[in-house]
Amino acid sequence: MKKGALFVVATPIGNLDDISKRAIDTLKNVYAIFAERPDWSRKLLNHLDIHKPLFQYSEGTKNRVSSKIIKLLEQNRDIALISDAGTPLISDPGVQLIRSVRENGFDVIAIPGPSALTAAVSVAGIAAPFVFLGFLPRKRGEIIAVLENIEECAAQAVFYEAPGRIMETLNIIDENFPDARIYLCKELTKINESYYEGRVGEVIEMLENPEKGEYTCIIEMRKKSDNQNLKQTALKLGEEGLSRKDIAKCMKVIYGVRKKRVFEWIS
């Protein structure tokens, strides 16, 4: 006897043409679709001429809705889970649901497709291994603590950031990890898609209209000792008689360190 299955379906992160035929067929054939924001997802489904029962599965509803999904699966109904955009569970709710579905003996089937994570890594020119951080914490101290762990092993890391927080986050990185290199992807697959690359201070100066767009950021951290070496270099230039202004100019041109940071070192 056929059992219901949960299909985890990737949807476009911007360009609607990125959805696969298999994803479309799956969404057409399931009994119901659960989405993080149904009103948002309905636009995509209407575009695809798909009209299925649509329910919310979010961080706030997950406990109640998980039991509803299990009951539908017990009735041999196939169910699809989608997120606002991209691949579900990549910084979206759903881990608890997947575990519950499997624990109850039902299959979870991936319908792969778009993801801002893999799209950004594919064009950034980095190789594995790298660490995926999802969205960084909200508090300054917690952001610094997370990045200190990355710095400790001189790793590459990928994180997402919202437009209202991107400048604050980049400034925190610049103040504490000035030699970090950044590859910033803005509005991936959309009309205003753009890329920024350089040391964090350079990227801050390049970034236009930061309050608009979604961001995927790849950061390459140097070891803490390397940052200390930069400070020592600035101090030695001062001992050679260069002015603060000239030292700041040299450090920016050669190492990408912002003037404000250099002035703090040699004040």
pLDDT at 2: 66
pTM metric for this prediction: 0.80
Distance CA 267, CA 255 (A): 19
Long-range contacts of 131-136 (CB under 8 A, 24+ apart): 131/155, 131/156, 131/157, 131/158, 132/157, 132/158, 132/159, 133/157, 133/158, 133/159, 134/90, 134/91, 134/159, 134/160, 135/91, 135/159, 135/160, 135/161, 135/162, 136/161, 136/169
Q: List, in order, residues 6 or more apart from 181 with CB less than 8 Å away.
A: 197, 198, 199, 200, 219, 220
* pLDDT score at 99: 95
Which three-class secondary structure state does DSSP give residue 155?
Answer: coil
**Element holding 8 (H helix, E strand):** strand 5-9
Low-confidence ranges of the chain (pLDDT < 50): none
User: What pLDDT, on a 0 to 100 scale, did the predictor assign at position 251?
Assistant: 82
